[in-house]
Structure 1
């Protein structure tokens, strides 16, 4: 780590010409909080990533019955590469707020905002294993979705969990490609998520909280995470009970500071999304089948309501 690099970047943000966040300084400061990690892949490991992604695509196509393409960009990244990709994402999401300007004490406010974003991205960069990025709010419709694997984190966590690295890497590939299957099955989903995100941000710009927009966004993401868990469990070409147990324990673990960061960054809500969504779809499959569960992606009206997530029979009666 290079904390001085981070401090200099945050301090320099005060002198940026405009904006409520200096995104170049965010990237620089976030990279100062974490080592990039090794990214020298042997030819065997490079081929392993390719094989994992293709096996996940084929297995998930067969399990779901959905024909979908892999994202146009599949990258094995260092932590610093991941930071750069996600700075672009946050910049897009926060563009409407940026238009408002920094308000009073612009230099100080910009430094605080920049530091907050840098700490957030630095922490995530040390913990994220893989990411499916639908590139929401991108400027051009031609933008391809992205699939990222943070190689140094996958290797580190495999050691921490005492699991075979190639097998663990393959498990992560199945999880992230499962999200590609969902978005392939539901071409309306990016627009749905974008509308709720923009609605929530527009309300914040007006000084109010649009609870409906955030509630609908939370329910949709619960369905996204839960269905991915269901699908990958049925598609993964190996035993997975030990991986599931160890990853579940990791989601709630860590030292006191790590647990605090997870709580502040909403990791508890993310874990609840995994668990609640998986419970919902498991119940639907137990009562009907996977084809019934997949009806959720036919149209936005088929998404479960918050109440239906806890009462799958109610959703079945409405949709199926």
Structure 2
């Protein structure tokens, strides 16, 4: 975009802080910014209007989300940060570094020693790989709530980032009304902000679950190789019974021990709930807020499936397709429960970690209703 939206300050020096860092975030950011394509060329007035409306809608959207969900009625509301692609990369790298630092601090010393072993050239190489991923995602991501960032507003934690050039590009590609699409995006991201601010234990619980997963990832190379024959047999069975690949997440699960898989299941279940709940809310707010919501949803769903061969391969390798499945599965869970027991009883999911659905219940919401509501 010709008019640059406000940008984030550079992240802290990720290459030196913390002896256990296995990834040089400075290298990741520099790599992503170098590889990233520029945003769309639009007239300055249009760019400035996009920035203004995204800031405005980030506040209005959360008001609508609160009315629908009943969450966080007394919390303050802050404007989202409207950023360009490089600023999103810096913000995403900062948030990921904070998340992994917090998770590693809950893992045992063996995991930390394993991370230290990747120092030097390994950390820089990992940074380059992370930068390639960030460069790809930096041209796709419409918005993101970083629960580990600083909002600068009392009573609010985390930063809501709205990537103006990507929102403009997606809206033009879909051929939908600009203000409707901007509000629709803000509804999704504002839901995430409300989830983490209205549920005080959620941030720490998610961090602890990730730390548990990292603590379980302590198998030696020999142990990993010893599981390969069984993995290959299961992989052949998967291929023979389905036309679709299990994807990168599927291969990771095949290589895991049962304990590791259980830890990953908890992370996937939480992420699927959060994404699906936000997807449900952005549509359920309704035509009175987003008049063209049905058209946007239809075209956006088709867009998620689209792309050329290279784009589809990259999405599979980077786990984007798995993320898209999370939207669908989590949205179906939320709709089923809300339709069956109402939003107030759905909100039992936020009452304690024990009331979160497990991965099996995500696909069987009636089982969650029986367990929680008897």
- TM > 0.5: yes
Is 2:273 the partner of 1:226?
no
Cα 1:227/1:116, change in 2 over 3 Å: same
Size of the aligned set, in residue pairs, is 301
CA distance in 1, matches of 2:90, 2:79: 15
Equivalent position of 1:258 in the other structure = 311
- Say whether the 8 Å CA contact 1:219–1:306 is kept in structure 2: yes
1:1-320 to 2 correspondence within 5 Å? Answer: 20-37=22-39, 44-66=49-71, 67=73, 69=75, 74-95=80-101, 96=104, 100=114, 103=117, 108-135=121-148, 144-205=157-218, 207=220, 210-236=260-286, 237-239=289-291, 240-320=293-373
- Say whether the 8 Å CA contact 1:71–1:147 is kept in structure 2: no
Equivalent position of 2:241 in the other structure = none
Cα 1:44/1:160, change in 2 over 3 Å: closer
CA distance in 1, matches of 2:30, 2:145: 23
CA shift digits 1:150-202 (9 cap, x unpaired): 00111111111111222211110011001122223321111110001111122
CA distance in 2, matches of 1:101, 1:285: 43
**CA displacement at 1:293 relative to structure 2:** 1.4
CA RMSD of aligned residues (A): 2.9
**CA displacement at 1:142 relative to structure 2:** 9.2
TM-score normalised by structure 1 residue count: 0.84
**CA displacement at 1:306 relative to structure 2:** 2.1
What secondary structure sits across from 1:251 in the alignment?
helix
What secondary structure sits across from 1:127 in the alignment?
coil
TM-score normalised by structure 2 residue count: 0.72
What secondary structure sits across from 2:301 in the alignment?
helix
**CA displacement at 1:114 relative to structure 2:** 2.1
What secondary structure sits across from 1:179 in the alignment?
helix
CA distance in 1, matches of 2:161, 2:138: 12
- Say whether the 8 Å CA contact 2:276–2:327 is kept in structure 1: yes
CA distance in 2, matches of 1:61, 1:298: 16
- Say whether the 8 Å CA contact 1:71–1:146 is kept in structure 2: no
Cα 1:164/1:127, change in 2 over 3 Å: same
Cα 1:20/1:142, change in 2 over 3 Å: farther
- Say whether the 8 Å CA contact 1:71–1:145 is kept in structure 2: no
CA shift digits 1:186-231 (9 cap, x unpaired): 2111111000111112222554762222110100111111111222
| Greater CA drift, 154-163 or 111-120 | 111-120
Cα 1:189/1:133, change in 2 over 3 Å: same
CA distance in 2, matches of 1:281, 1:219: 13
**CA displacement at 1:100 relative to structure 2:** 4.1
